[in-house]
A and B are shown apart, each in its own frame.
Chain A
Amino acid sequence: EADIYQTPRYLVIGTGKKITLECSQTMGHDKMYWYQQDPGMELHLIHYSYGVNSTEKGDLSSESTVSRIRTEHFPLTLESARPSHTSQYLCASSDWGQEGGYTFGSGTRLTVV
Chain B
Amino acid sequence: SQQGEEDPQALSIQEGENATMNCSYKTSINNLQWYRQNSGRGLVHLILIRSNEREKHSGRLRVTLDTSKKSSSLLITASRAADTASYFCATARGTPLVFGKGTRLSVIA
User: Is B a genuine binding partner of A?
Assistant: no
Which of B's residues lie within 8 Å of A, judged by CB? none
Which of A's residues lie within 8 Å of B, judged by CB? none
